[in-house]
Amino acid sequence: MWLSCSGRSGMRPLTELLLLAGLLLFSSALCARAAAINHGAVSSMVSGRDFGGVANFSTFLMDQSSGMLYLGARDAIVAVDTANLSKRRKIEWSVPEDKRTACVGKGKTVADCNNYIRLLEFLGDGRIYACGTYAFEPQCAFVNISTFSLETLEDGSVRMETGKGKCPFEPSQHYAAVMAGGILYTAATSNFLGTQFDISRATGPEQERIRTEQSITWLSDPEFVSSAFIQEDAKNNPTGEDDKIYFFFTEVAKEYDLYTKVKVPRVARVCKSDIGGMKTLQRRWTTFLKAQLVCEDRASGQRFNVLNDVFTKQHHPGDPSSTHFYGIFTSQWEREEISAVCVYSLKEISKVMDGPFKDLKKSCETWMNPDPVPLPRPGQCLNNALKAEGFESSLKLPDKVLTFMRDHPLMEDSVVSVPLLIRSGVTYTKLGVTLTTVSNGNIRQNATVLHLGTDRGELHRVAVMGQNATLLQELPLFHATEPINNILLHKDEALVGSPLSLAKLPAEGCSLYTTCEVCAQARMLGCVWKQKEGACDLAVSEPDEGLKPEDLDSQCGSGEDRCSPATTELPVVEGLRVLLSCVQVSPRPCHWQHPPHRHTRRHHSDLEVRVTQESLGTYVCLCEEAGRDQPPCRRAAYHLTLGEPSTSSSAARMGNRQFVVGYLVFFFLGLALPCSVFYITRWRRGKRGGGGHSSSTSEKGRDLLPSSDTPQSPSSASLLSESVTFTEKRNGTLNGHGGHGGHIVGHNCTHIYSNSNGLKLQESAVNLAEELDGQERAGLEEEEEGLGEGLNEMGDGLVGLEEELAKLHMLRGAPLAQCEESSI
C-alpha cells in the first residue's frame, strides 16, 4: 500500500520515492550478499569478466582426452583448460549490424538479436560443429580444434550453413541435440514464430534427413529437455538390434479431455537406420514411439508432471543395457516450489515401447488397445529377424504398417518410478550422477550421489542408498540470480556453470565433508570422522567402520540430543510474527506439531507464527531422516508464552547480527538518499524562482514497479512465469512467501539465459511516468526535470527489476475426463 504525501499539489509522494530507493538499495545489498559466499569447497572459479566480458554461457562440450572444455556463449566460443581455468582462448562470432537491425525491425529485442551459441558437437575429424541463433536466423559453422578458429571462405568470411532445424531461433527456447555416428539428431523449433516442432535427423545425406509428422498426436507444444544416443554393443548383440536415439520432453497431453492444459513428461525413441517410408510417411520417421513418464510418490499420491532435466548414466560402463536416466521433475499443480528426482532404466522403457499401443474408440466412450496390430510390428527397429523376412530397410515396410504407425505413436503403458527424493522450497535445474560401492561387513551396496543445481546458484549433494536419501551439502556458488544451467563430471571433478560463471570443485571423496556432523551424514558412502586428524576419511581399518550412526553421533558430541532437543521457552506479545527455525538436514519432508487454532505459514522447513491467544503453546518440528519406516527425528521444539520477547533468543533471529545490521544500514541509506534528492530538488526549484502549485492532484493508480513482458514465442515459456514478490533471504537466495522463487536483479545482474530450462531475465527500466492530464503535466514540467536530474545522480542502477504476477493454481491434481473427441 502506497501512502500519499500532501501539501503541494503535483509533488511526487515522498513515501513512494523512499520505498523505491530503499528497495533498490536493498536489492543491491542482496546481490552483494550473494557475492560474498564461501568458496572454500571450490577449487577455482571464473566469471564473464575473466573472459573479456563474454556472458550467457549456455553449452558445455568436454574433450575427455585433452581435458579441454568448450563453452558456447553470446557472440563467442570459449575454450578452457580444466586443469587450469586461467588458460583459455576465445573465438568471436557475432552478427553483422544489418542483420541485427533487421531482427529488431521484426519485433525482437536488441538483446535477443545476437548470436547465442546453442550447439557444440565433435565431428570426429578434428572439427567442432557449432550452431547459433544468429539474430533469429540460425547458422552453423565449423571450428578447427588445432588452431581454434572458425573455418573461412576464400574471401575471408566465415563459412556458414543454415542452422534451421539444428538450432533454436530464440536464445531461451527449449532444445535438445545429440551426435550419433557423425550425424546430428535434434529436437527444436523449425520456424521463426516458434510454433512448429521437429525431432529430426538434421545432417547427413539429403535423402536421409527425416523428421516427425506435423501432427499434435506426435508432438503437442513440447518443451524439449534432453537426448541420448544408445549404441548397441557390437560384441554382445546377437539379435542385431539397431542403435537408438532417445528424446525427453514435456508436452501438453492430448489423451486427456480437460478444461485446462495438462502437461505430461514423455520419452520418445527413433532408430538410427530409419530413412522413412516409400509412400506413406515419406521423409518421416517410421519408428517414432513415445511413452509417458510417471514420477509419483505412492504414499501421498502426489505426481510430478513437468520434466526439467535428464542425466544419462551407464551403471556398468560398456554395457548399454545398464543405462539409467535420472530426471528432475516439478509439479504443474503445486503453488510452492517443489522438486523430485526419479530414475528410469533402459530395460523398463524398452518394455513399454514393446507393449500395447494407445487408441480411442470412435464412439468416444473409452480408451482401448487397437486390434489387430499389423505385422511386422509398427515402430520396431531393424534387426536380424526383420532382415530375414525381407525388410532390409524402412522403405520396404507395407502401407498398413506405416498408416498404423502414423496414427498410433503413443504407447498404452507408462514408465513408472518412485522418487528418490522430494524437496520442498527448492527448484532444481540440472543434475549429475556419480556411483560408488560401499562395503558394510561382508555386504557390498551401491550408493548414488546426486549433484543437483538450483535456480539460485546453489549446488546440492544428496546421497541415495536404497530408500534412504541424505542431504550432504548445500554449496552457494553463484549469485542468487544465476541459475545453474550446466553440470559436467570429469575425472572426479564437477564443472558447474551458470550463464555468467564457471566453477570447478571436487565431485567425490570423503574429504568433501569438512565437519563431523556432515561426515556422519555421509556414513552411507563409507565415510568416517577421524577424531585425531579432525578430518573425514574413508573407513579402511574395519569393514563396518563409520557405518554405525550411534557411534558417529557420540563422536560429534550430539548423541541422543540430536533428535531430542530441549524445548525453547519463547516469550512473545500478541500481534507479533515469529519465525520458528527448523534445520532440515535430509531431503525428506519436515512437518510441525502445533496448537489446533494457530495462525501459521511455512517457509521451507521453518514456520512463521502470528501470535494470538489461540496460537500460544508448543510447536515441535519433526523431520524424516533415517528411512520411510523409521520414526521421524525431533529437530526443534518451542513453547510460546505471553511476555516480553527476548532479543537474544535464537529463534527470533532472522540471521546473524552482522547480516541484519548490514541490511539496516542499507535500509536507512535508502531513506536518507531520496530525502537528500527531494531537498536538492526543492532548493533548485526555489533558486529558479518556481512557485508552488495550489491545485490538487488526483493520481490514477500508478505502478512504480511494473512487470516487463518480454516478447516470446509460444514455445519459449520462461521459468519465471510463476514468480511472486520476494520477502525472504536464505543462503544467498531470495524466496517467495507464496512458495515460488522470487528473483531480484540488481545493477550487476542482466541478460541471463539458461539453455536447458528457458530461464530468462531481461533488462527492464523502472517506470516513473505519471498518468496526468495535459493541464497538470504542463504545470509540473519544470519539477519533473529537476526530479529527473536528482534521480540521475543516483547512478544507472535502476535496471534489472523484473516482477510477474503469480498464477492462480486451481488444482492439485487433475481429474481425467471420460471422453476425447479425436483419435490418437
How many CB atoms sit inside 10 A of residue 584's CB? 20
pLDDT tens figures, 215-240: 999 999 999 999 999 999 888 899 99
Q: Are residues 448 and 525 in the same domain?
A: no
Task: Name the 3-class secondary structure at 282.
Answer: coil
DSSP string covering 549-571, please? HHHHHHHTT-GGGGSSPPPEEEE
Residues 187 and 288 sit within 8 Å (Cβ to Cβ): no
Q: Is residue 134 part of a domain?
A: yes
Q: Is residue 748 part of a domain?
A: no
Radius of gyration of the chain (CA): 29
Residues 588 and 625 sit within 8 Å (Cβ to Cβ): yes
Q: Is residue 719 part of a domain?
A: no
| Residue (of 100, 270, 243) closest to 176 by Cα position | 270
Per-residue pLDDT, 760: 41
Residue 632's CATH number: 2.60.40
Q: Would you say the C-alpha torsion 514, 652, 739, 801 has a positive or negative sign?
A: negative
Q: Are residues 395 and 421 in the same domain?
A: yes
- Dist. CA 127–CA 129, nearest whole Å: 7
Q: Are residues 518 and 587 in the same domain?
A: no
Q: Is 531 exposed, middle or buried (0-12, 13-18, 19+ CB in 10 A)?
A: exposed
Q: What is the mean pLDDT of residues 286-295?
A: 97
Per-residue pLDDT, 561: 58
Q: Is residue 802 part of a domain?
A: no
How many CB atoms sit inside 10 A of residue 241's CB? 18
- Dist. CA 265–CA 309, nearest whole Å: 11
CA dihedral (210, 214, 220, 223) in degrees, to 10, reads 40
Per-residue pLDDT, 533: 83
Q: Are strands 568-572 and 633-642 parallel, antiparallel or unpaired?
A: parallel
pLDDT tens figures, 652-673: 344 444 444 555 665 666 666 6
Residues 646 and 575 sit within 8 Å (Cβ to Cβ): no
Q: How confident is the model at residue 679 (pLDDT cuts 50, 70, 90)?
A: low
Per-residue pLDDT, 704: 29
- Dist. CA 509–CA 513, nearest whole Å: 8
Residue of higher predicted confidence among 315 and 624: 315
Per-residue pLDDT, 64: 92
| Residue (of 462, 544, 421) closest to 552 by Cα position | 544
- Dist. CA 200–CA 355, nearest whole Å: 24
Count of domains forming the chain: 3
Per-residue pLDDT, 258: 67
Residues 609 and 600 sit within 8 Å (Cβ to Cβ): yes
pLDDT tens figures, 268-282: 999 999 999 999 999
| Residue (of 29, 148, 163) closest to 88 by Cα position | 148
Q: Is residue 450 part of a domain?
A: yes
Beta bridge partners, 735, equal: 728
- Dist. CA 13–CA 728, nearest whole Å: 27
Residue 273's CATH number: 2.130.10.10
Q: Is residue 788 part of a domain?
A: no
Q: Which of 505, 522, 540 is the last residue of a domain?
A: 505
- Dist. CA 535–CA 544, nearest whole Å: 18
- Dist. CA 266–CA 307, nearest whole Å: 8
Q: Are strands 415-417 and 289-297 parallel, antiparallel or unpaired?
A: parallel
**566 CA to centre of own chain:** 38
- Dist. CA 650–CA 656, nearest whole Å: 9
Q: Are residues 384 and 530 in the same domain?
A: no
pLDDT tens figures, 401-448: 999 999 999 999 999 999 999 988 899 999 999 998 887 667 778 899
- Dist. CA 281–CA 261, nearest whole Å: 29
Return the C-alpha cell found at 44.
577455482
Q: Are residues 232 and 283 in the same domain?
A: yes
Least confident of 63-77, 168-182, 330-344, 508-522: 508-522
Return the C-alpha cell found at 469.
536419501
Quote the DSSP letter at residue 395: G
- Dist. CA 490–CA 323, nearest whole Å: 18
- Dist. CA 580–CA 650, nearest whole Å: 9
Residue of higher predicted confidence among 366 and 95: 95
- Dist. CA 812–CA 56, nearest whole Å: 35
Here the contacts of 210-215 (C-beta below 8 Å, separation 24 or greater) are 210/274, 210/275, 210/276, 210/283, 210/284, 210/285, 211/165, 211/283, 211/284, 211/285, 212/284, 212/285, 212/288, 213/281, 213/284, 213/285, 213/288, 213/406, 215/406
Cis peptide before 356 (omega within 30 of 0): no
Label residue 639 left, alpha or beta by phi (over 0 means left) and psi (-120 to 50 means alpha): beta
Q: Are residues 584 and 551 in the same domain?
A: no
Residues 391 and 376 sit within 8 Å (Cβ to Cβ): yes
Q: Are residues 373 and 491 in the same domain?
A: yes
Q: Are residues 466 and 613 in the same domain?
A: no
Per-residue pLDDT, 246: 98
Q: Are residues 496 and 515 in the same domain?
A: no
pTM of the model: 0.71
Q: Is residue 456 part of a domain?
A: yes
**β strands within 681-813, DSSP E:** 726-730, 733-736, 752-753, 760-761
Per-residue pLDDT, 247: 98
Least confident of 89-103, 244-258, 281-295: 244-258
Enclosing domain of residue 403:
44-151+163-505
Residue of higher predicted confidence among 767 and 496: 496
Here the contacts of 687-694 (C-beta below 8 Å, separation 24 or greater) are 688/782, 690/782, 690/783, 692/8, 693/8, 693/9, 693/10, 693/779, 693/780, 694/9
Q: Which of 528, 561, 594 is the last residue of a domain?
A: 561
pLDDT tens figures, 170-184: 999 999 999 999 999
Helix, strand, coil content of the chain in percent (nearest 5)? 20, 35, 50
Return the C-alpha cell found at 234.
557390437
Q: Are residues 496 and 518 in the same domain?
A: no
Q: Are residues 318 and 261 in the same domain?
A: yes
| Residue (of 482, 455, 417) closest to 339 by Cα position | 455
Residue 107 pLDDT greater than 90, yes or no: yes
* Max mean pLDDT range (681-695, 737-751, 805-819): 681-695
Q: What is the mean pLDDT of residues 364-378?
A: 72
Q: Would you say the C-alpha torsion 199, 357, 216, 398 has a positive or negative sign?
A: positive
Residue 590 pLDDT greater than 60, yes or no: yes
Per-residue pLDDT, 732: 33
Residue of higher predicted confidence among 137 and 700: 137
Q: What is the mean pLDDT of the chain?
A: 76
Q: Percent of the chain scored above 70 by pLDDT?
A: 66
Residues 654 and 735 sit within 8 Å (Cβ to Cβ): no
Q: Which of 642, 672, 688 is the last residue of a domain?
A: 642
Label residue 216 left, alpha or beta by phi (over 0 means left) and psi (-120 to 50 means alpha): alpha
Per-residue pLDDT, 589: 73
Q: How confident is the model at residue 602 (pLDDT cuts 50, 70, 90)?
A: confident
Q: Is residue 668 part of a domain?
A: no
Return the C-alpha cell found at 599.
495462525
pLDDT tens figures, 722-747: 333 333 333 333 333 333 333 333 33
Q: What is the mean pLDDT of residues 549-573?
A: 69
Length reported for the chain: 824
Q: What is the mean pLDDT of residues 144-149?
A: 96
| Residue (of 318, 58, 79, 273) closest to 180 by Cα position | 273
Place of cell 544467498: 732
Q: Are residues 544 and 596 in the same domain?
A: no
**β strands within 419-500, DSSP E:** 421-424, 428-440, 443-454, 458-465, 468-476, 486-490, 493-497
Per-residue pLDDT, 682: 62
